Structure 1
Amino acid sequence: MTEASNFIWYELMTPDPAGAARFYGAVVGWNIASERDPAAGDMDYRMIGRSDGGNAGGVLALNADMIAGGARPIWIGYLHVADVDAAVEAIKADGGTVQMPPMDIPVGRIAMVTDPQGAPFYVMTPTPPPGMEGMESDVFSVTEAQHVRWNELATSDPVAAIAFYRKHFGWGQEGEMDMGSIGAYRFIQRGDVGLGAVMPLMTGYPAPVWNFYIGVDDIDRARAAVSANGGTITNEPMEIPGGEYAMNAIDPQGASVGFVGPKK
Structure 2
Amino acid sequence: MPNQHGDFIWYELLTTDADAASRFYGAVIGWRVRPAEGSDRDYRILGTGDADVAGVMTILADTDCVGMRPGWLGYVGVTDVDATAAEVVRAGGTQYVAPTDIPGVGRFAMVSDPQGVAFYVMRGAMEGTSTSFAQAKPGHCHWNELATNDQGAALAFYTGLLGWEKGDAMPMGDMGDYQFITHHGGMIGAMMTRSVGGPPPAWTFYFGVEDIDVAARAVSGNGGTIHHGPAEVPGGVYIIVAADPQGAQFGLVGPRKR
TM bracket, shorter-chain basis: over 0.9
Match of 2:143 in 1: 150
Show the counterpart of 2:9.
8
Match of 1:87 among 84, 88, 91: 84
The separation in 2 between residues aligned to 1:67 and 1:16, in whole angstroms, is 17
2:26 aligned partner? 25
Determine the structure 2 residue equivalent to 1:125: 123
CA distance in 2, matches of 1:81, 1:65: 27
Tell me how far apart the structure 2 counterparts of residues 202 and 67 of structure 1 sit (CA, whole Å). 29
Q: Which letter maps to 1:177?
A: M
| 3-state SS, counterpart of residue 39 of structure 1 | coil
- Residue 4 of structure 1 contacts residue 191 of structure 1 at CA under 8 Å; is this kept in 2? no
Q: How much is the aligned-residue C-alpha RMSD, in angstroms?
A: 1.5
Report the counterpart of residue 38 of structure 1 in structure 2: 37
Match for 1:113: what amino acid? V
Gaps of at least 5 residues in structure 1 are: none
CA contact (8 A) 2:64 2:97 kept: no
Q: Does 1:101 align with 2:69?
A: no
Which deviates the most, 162-171 or 64-73? 64-73
8 A contact 1:4–1:190 mirrored in 2: no
Where does structure 1 differ by over 2 angstroms across 4 or more consecutive aligned residues?
63-68, 203-207
Say yes or no: does 1:228 pair with 2:221: yes
Structure 2 distance, partners of 1:112, 1:61, is 16
- In structure 2, the partner of 1:213 is 206
| Residue from 97, 114, 117 that aligns with 1:116 | 114
Q: Which amino acid aligns with 1:49?
A: G
Contact 1:177 1:185 in 2 (8 A): yes
Distance in 2 (CA, whole Å) between partners of 1:63 and 1:174 is 39
**Residue ranges of structure 2 left out of the alignment (5+ in a row):** none
Query: Paired residues, what number?
Result: 253
Matched letter for residue 10 of structure 1: Y
What is the CA–CA distance in structure 2 between the aligned matches of 1:64 and 1:85, rounded to whole Å?
26
| 2:170 aligned with 1:177 | yes
1:240 corresponds in structure 2 to: 233
Letter of the structure 2 residue corresponding to residue 9 of structure 1: W
2:98 aligns to what SS in structure 1? strand
